[in-house]
Structure 1
Amino acid sequence: MTYCQERPVSALKPLKKAVLPVAGLGTRFLPATKALAKEMLPVVDRPLIQYAIEEARAAGIEQFCLITGRGKTQIVEHFDVAYELERTLEERGKTDILADLRSQAIEPGALVTVRQQVPMGLGHAIWCARAFIGDDPFAILLPDDLMLCDTPCTAQLAEAYRETGGNVVAIEEVPRDRVNRYGVLDVEKDMGRLVSVKGLVEKPPVDKAPSNLTIIGRYVLMPEVIGHLSHMEKGAGGEVQLTDSMAKLIGNQPFHGLRYQGRRFDCGDKAGWLEAQIAFALKRPDMAPAVRAFLTKYT
């Protein structure tokens, strides 16, 4: 099957791969990100990238591809085995912490990295993972979008993928005056939880947006999108936009938006990152009482 050939629903494959673009510079968090990858910024006691990996694993994902850039080696090292640390924890009897670390380990060979040498947009980043993707469906998780959901967001998408047999993107409604910041859906039919899509527009002018339903950083896509990305067509901002190539799948394959259940925190923004700290801490029984107590000092 060639990348641009239509995939019949009967050929549905299990969703086992995820691509995580982590090549961004994190300029909004300078000077903190001068020596620290933005994906390693912690929310409570876990870096953003770990939340994304854990979310993907909860959806049955078994293989991971990190699209990296210069200065991102610490992300890979985070998922490596730290023998000295584990030995020290064992010697000191910190078995609970050690067990937690080991439970996060990724199977040998299940994590690969691909270098995006030039920042040419999200579409270009995904195209860089073409050999990893091959002829399989794959999820995309943008670690900047931190999700707080009872059922992990990617697991919700995986369920919708099994139901619809095609491309599914997580969506949420935003105020009309903010639609020019996102990829926006042109809706064919609104079925409540699922929305069938007849078009996509990347960062449209407010007065020309087809709806206020916008795509967030969670996707399940068919591999045929790579064939469209390979043309390297420039879109909004002069970059290779993933949205533009996804739009070309519509009409050849099922394409739906999913109103996910949960909350998204934009951790590429300082205020969003700070809000995530509080929200995630309040969900933890070991931290919630102390956090509620100190919050009263600032209200």
Structure 2
Amino acid sequence: MFPITKVIEKAMLPIGRRPTIDYIVRECAAAGVHEVAIVVRRGSTQIQGYYGDDTELRALLGRRGWAEKAHALDELATVPSITFVEQDPEDRYGTAVPVMLARDFIADDAFYFLSSDDLLVEPPGQSTLAELGRDAGDGSGYALVGQPSPASSLDRYGRLETAETDGRLHLTDLVEKDAVAARFDGGKVLINISRYAFPGQFLHVLAAVGEHEESGEYRLTDGLVEILGSTPISVTVGRGSYFDLGNEQGLAEASRHVVVGRQ
């Protein structure tokens, strides 16, 4: 998304009238989450400013008689309690790093982990995230979301291999981006869209994860692979509409979906 992200943080790019991060935060709220930590780049201010109160703006709206816009400010406050955690861009890199930086926030509690690059739009009253928490044993186990996707997408997303036991899916393998998608014969597969439910003890697993030899990243999925086989990991099938916000096409498609759905 560069160079627009030179001045606008990627999580603040708009989908309709809201920034992408707000859809993620409200997805958490719909699942019953009361506390959220957002890991931001050191020196970040835009997300904090969006959720913070602005008394001068409120006063201006009052003087101009723009009550509807003032109500929109009130609605911004109807989110879970948010804690901001800074990440030094010069420090380690990878999907495991934000979780480790939030370890004081997490403590020993069970937690969800979501990436703001991945948007799952669901009908009102439906929550894949809440189902994910239940599949994880309400805090005692591990679960992740597998989103049905055409096999042709496997060069861009991690693939989940599963087995069914007693009517429930469990992870048997987690394959990183697969460039040989053709062998899946054009069918549907489950891809990893970075929605997880973990017990607090997963922090100890991640602490032992080293730098990936090829990418140099500290990958959260390496922690999952480490326990795979010894620890059951449930797979919850995503039932909403998925959009990859890491590219301009996905952002445009998400905007069309949200705006048209609101009309």
TM value normalised by structure 2: 0.85
Cα deviation, residue 156, structure 1: 3.4
Q: Deviations over 1:87-122 (max 9, x none)?
A: 2223333333322321321679x3222222225100
- 2:55 is matched with which residue? 83
Counterpart selection for 2:103 from 127, 130, 133: 130
Cα deviation, residue 159, structure 1: 3.9
Report whether the alignment pairs 1:266 with 2:237: no
Cα-Cα RMSD? 2.7
Cα deviation, residue 169, structure 1: 1.0
Counterpart selection for 1:116 from 58, 78, 87: 87
Q: Gaps spanning 5+ residues in structure 1: where? A: 1-28, 286-299
Cα deviation, residue 131, structure 1: 1.2
Cα deviation, residue 51, structure 1: 1.1
51-60 or 197-206, larger mean C-alpha shift: 197-206
Q: Deviations over 1:12-71 (max 9, x none)?
A: xxxxxxxxxxxxxxxxx2221111101110111000111111111111111111111135
Q: Deviations over 1:218-244 (max 9, x none)?
A: 211122221121124123522111011
What are the residue-to-residue correspondences of 1:1-299 with 2, within 5 Å?
29-105=1-77, 110-117=81-88, 118-150=91-123, 151-162=126-137, 165-189=140-164, 194-204=168-178, 206=180, 212-235=189-212, 237-285=215-263
Mapped to 1, the partners of 2:220 and 2:74 lie a distance apart of 35
Mapped to 2, the partners of 1:140 and 1:251 lie a distance apart of 22
Mapped to 2, the partners of 1:239 and 1:131 lie a distance apart of 22
Write out the 4+ residue segments of structure 1 that deviate beyond 4 Å after TM superposition: 162-165
Look up the equivalent residue of 1:254 and give its one-letter code.
P
Asked whether the equivalents of residues 144 and 267 of structure 1 are also in contact (C-alpha less than 8 Å), the reply is: yes
Asked whether the equivalents of residues 40 and 47 of structure 1 are also in contact (C-alpha less than 8 Å), the reply is: yes
Quick one: structure 1 residues 67 and 164, their matched pair in 2 at CA, closer, same or farther if it must change by over 3 Å? closer
Look up the equivalent residue of 1:67 and give its one-letter code.
V
Look up the equivalent residue of 1:148 and give its one-letter code.
V
71-80 or 37-46, larger mean C-alpha shift: 71-80
Asked whether the equivalents of residues 172 and 215 of structure 1 are also in contact (C-alpha less than 8 Å), the reply is: yes
Mapped to 2, the partners of 1:250 and 1:226 lie a distance apart of 15
Mapped to 2, the partners of 1:179 and 1:198 lie a distance apart of 17
Quick one: structure 1 residues 242 and 86, their matched pair in 2 at CA, closer, same or farther if it must change by over 3 Å? same
Number of equivalenced pairs: 254
Asked whether the equivalents of residues 133 and 139 of structure 2 are also in contact (C-alpha less than 8 Å), the reply is: no
Identity of aligned residues (%): 30
Mapped to 2, the partners of 1:68 and 1:74 lie a distance apart of 10
- 1:13 is matched with which residue? none
Q: Gaps spanning 5+ residues in structure 2: where? A: none
